[in-house]
Structure 1
């Protein structure tokens, strides 16, 4: 497992992380046993960066992580969590000093950590990026010893660029994959210049880039891939990266020609992201041991050729960009 430095935190983290949304909820049923096996398998494979949030299963994900780490003992991996989405309604007016501190305190209890490694504003309303008082509260929590560093999880490139103006933002989490290439035009480069880490989420476009889905694939009723295709519950871009399902399936068939040897499409998709040195860590989700092991193997995949990279860029521009490029 190769490592990269997470911006101004100075922390070395595995370039493949563990995305813990799936073990919390809205991805269909995942038993506690499977969740624990998935996390253990990732850690056994050298993963030492875990990304979670307080709303993943209303704390379920954070609690499972704490339980596994307590059972394992030894050196603790770097843990990033998020806050803000517990607000109902989720509005900028709720981002108060009192609420933010209560959210952090709850995550400290769930994760059994006195000081959280990294806390990210969880895709807040756009106006939050124009509210310096919110970022001042995060600074105060660092001073109080509740958190070591903070970052933002964004929906839009423009939100990430605005967040970079705050000097203590240590990381930006965003969707970046073969189907969402716009961040590479400016944001990733600017983040690198300002020593801000990049956490790439939804790297497999909600599973599309595993190549295992087709027009007949069925999703459980509590899986966001069934109920959020048009943004009914949260931002549409979080589900299948915002690409219409049928359009994406067609593009996936074109990607199959680049698969060689023992490399799966998922490994290819993860390696594509890691080809950009401005990315710090990729956080594919996992629901079981096998998925965790396969994800970790992507760190050892050979670099993609210039020809392959160029072809995947052209595929994006011709088939995918019209649906997503100017939206996020």
Structure 2
């Protein structure tokens, strides 16, 4: 691809990111239809198209999403964001061991992939123990084959878990130890993001945001911009709304550094890249 995406600043983190990011929750999941070779081609297509921001988490694909991203993470200019704080039940964790056997079976069973995805979502639990979070970040770094992740986020923590400040202190420790360049929270709601921003303890926030919600999100968008907090928009697509309508308002908004699109479909990725390059 001859045209690539321009880079923008992620708040005051010092990181330069592509305005279009790739969400990697599905690149190694049991319900993914794409083959491993197709996923490798997709990641390289994203890179060649100028994507420099890749979002993952330790539970995505039971850690296999991070493993898949290790080759990208080694490239100059790649910005990797990972998360921890959600955990899977033991039965779902064991799924990783039988993925090679299960994938062909799911492909032949009508509706089986949706059932598997729903079962995984239902098995998610919060685990915000500070010792375990530290261990999980260290494990993520080993899977990514990195000494430092560019961004580490707490994964959808309840607001009450943050009130005593201990988890913010832990994030500070991750930066002080050099495990993460920047830290923050992947927020459940815009209201949570607004409260977290007021604490002045994070450099990055990830928020659920669609183009139709920009007006309602104005308080947190303006607050984060004033504070120099880098904003990442996720869950940006809505059923029945084409990408040509969903993406441009977010990509044009200077208050939003990264708009995440999660796809394992090469044609969808190419379409999203074309939209971003046209703006």
TM-score with structure 2 setting the length: 0.80
Q: Confirm whether residue 164 of structure 1 aligns to residue 197 of structure 2.
A: yes
Residue 87 of structure 1: CA displacement? 6.2
Structure 2 segments unaligned to the other structure (5+ residues): 90-123
How far 1:202 sits from its partner (Å)? Answer: 1.5
Partner of 1:299: 276
Pick from 163, 167, 189 the counterpart of residue 222 of structure 2. 189
The RMSD of aligned alpha carbons is 2.0
Q: Does 1:84 align with 2:61?
A: no
The answer to which structure has the higher strand fraction is 2
Distance 1:38 1:61, change over 3 A: same
Paired position in structure 2 for 1:266:
243
Give 3-state SS (helix, strand or coil) of 2:62's partner. coil
Deviations 1:158-207 (A, max 9, x none): 110111133341111111113444653311111101000110111223xx
**Which whole-Å CA distance do the structure 1 matches of 2:273 and 2:214 have between them?**
22
Aligned residue number for residue 145 of structure 1 = 178
Q: Deviations over 1:225-259 (max 9, x none)?
A: xxxxxxxxxxxxxxxxxxxxxxxx4xx4xxxxxxx
Q: Structure 2: how far apart are the matches of 1:69 and 1:99?
A: 24
Residue of 17, 24, 43 corresponding to 1:13: 17
Unaligned runs of 5+ in 1: 209-248, 253-264, 303-328
Q: Report what 1:40 is aligned to.
A: 44
**1:279 maps onto 2:267 in alignment:** no
Cα 1:9–1:69 shift into 2, 3 Å: closer
Asked if structure 2 preserves the Cα contact closer than 8 Å seen for 1:173 and 1:199, the reply is yes
Q: Is 1:103 paired with 2:136?
A: yes
Alignment partner of 1:149: what SS? strand
CA separation of 1:146 and 1:68: change in aligned 2, threshold 3 A: closer
Secondary structure of the residue that 2:60 maps to in structure 1? coil
Equivalent residue for 2:152, pick from 112, 119, 130: 119
From the superposition, tell whether residues 288 and 189 of structure 1 become closer, same or farther in structure 2 (CA, over 3 Å).
same
Native 8 Å contact 2:197 2:224 kept in 1:
yes
| Whole-angstrom CA distance in 2 between matches of 1:196 and 1:68 | 25
